[in-house]
Amino acid sequence: MKVTVIGLGPGGGADLTGRAREALAACDLIVGYTAYIELVKKDFPEKEVLSTGMRREVDRCRAAVEAALTGRDVAVVCSGDSGVYGMAGLVYEVAREYDPIDIEVVPGITAACGGAALLGAPLTHDFAVISLSDLLTPWDLIERRLSCAAQADFVICLYNPSSHSRPDYLRRACGILLREKSPDTVCGYVRNIGREGEEAHTLTLGELRDTQVDMFTTVFIGSSKTGLLGGKMVTPRGYLQRNG
C-alpha cells in the first residue's frame, strides 16, 4: 500500500541505482509511459505493468494511487530522475484527493548529469536547468528565466529544447541568450543518452542557434568560463586557478 516514484536514469539498465533496482524488484505493479515501461521490462520481464501514452500523466498517477489503495505496492517509473520534471510532484498532488498512502521518491540520474558526463564536465560550477516546453509554462516566464540565467552567467541546461510543434524554440532561446552572451560561448548537446544512437556534440552558441535538435536532445550552454579541452566541454571549478 505504497507508491514509489522511481527514476530509471537516462537509459535504464546500467544507469539504475541499487536502490531503484531493489524498489522495482519489490513492487507488485509498475506504472509508466509506454517507452519507459519498455526500458524496465528488459530487466523485470515477470512484473505486471500498466503503461499509458504521452500526455496521460494525470491518469497514470491516479491509476498508481488507486492501485496502492487496494493494498498493492506500486512503482511509477520515470526516465532520468523522478523529481526533475518527473512524476514525483504529480503523484503527491494527485494523492491529496484520496485517503492517505505512503509515497517514496527514489532518485535517478537526470539528463543534466548524464548528458554532462558525455560532453565532459560542463556542470562543475553553478548552473540552471530550464525546460523550453511551453505546454505547461507560459513562454514569457521561460524567456525571463533564460534572460536571468544568462545575466547570472550560469551554465544552462535546456530540457525539451524542441518538438514537432515547437521546431524553432531552441533558436528563440539562443536569441535571448545572445543578448547577454558571446556567440563564441562553448555549448554542447547530447542525444539518446544511455540508449542506442547516443551522440554528443560541441559547438558555439552562434552555431547552436542554427542547429535543429529533436525531443530526445538535452542542450548545454556554457558560462563565460566554460572552455573546450581536447574536444570536451569543461567548466573549471577554480582549483587550478587558486593553486596558481
- Check if the beta carbon of residue 68 is closer than 8 Å to that of residue 1: yes
With respect to a copy of itself, which residue has the nearer C-beta, 179 or 237?
Answer: 237
Q: Smallest gap, in angstroms, from Cβ of residue 81 to a copy of itself? A: 5
Query: How is residue 35 written as a grid cell?
Result: 517507452
Q: Smallest gap, in angstroms, from Cβ of residue 17 to a copy of itself? A: 5
With respect to a copy of itself, which residue has the nearer C-beta, 83 or 206?
Answer: 83
Residue 58 neighbours by CB under 8 Å, 6+ apart: 90, 94
With respect to a copy of itself, which residue has the nearer C-beta, 75 or 116?
Answer: 116
Q: Smallest gap, in angstroms, from Cβ of residue 89 to a copy of itself? A: 3
The residues facing 32 across adjacent strands are: 51, 77
Q: Which of 214, 110, 219 is nearest to 158 (CA)?
A: 219
Burial of 83 (C-beta count, 10 Å sphere; 0-12/13-18/19+): middle
With respect to a copy of itself, which residue has the nearer C-beta, 139 or 206?
Answer: 139
Half-sphere exposure of 7 (CA within 13 A, CB side): 21
Q: Nearest 10 degrees: CA dihedral of 163, 78, 50, 106? A: -170
With respect to a copy of itself, which residue has the nearer C-beta, 103 or 203?
Answer: 103
Q: Nearest 10 degrees: CA dihedral of 202, 203, 205, 208? A: -90
Q: Smallest gap, in angstroms, from Cβ of residue 79 to a copy of itself? A: 13
Distance in angstroms (rounded) separating the CA atoms of residues 3 and 77: 10
Q: Smallest gap, in angstroms, from Cβ of residue 12 to a copy of itself? A: 10
With respect to a copy of itself, which residue has the nearer C-beta, 178 or 206?
Answer: 178
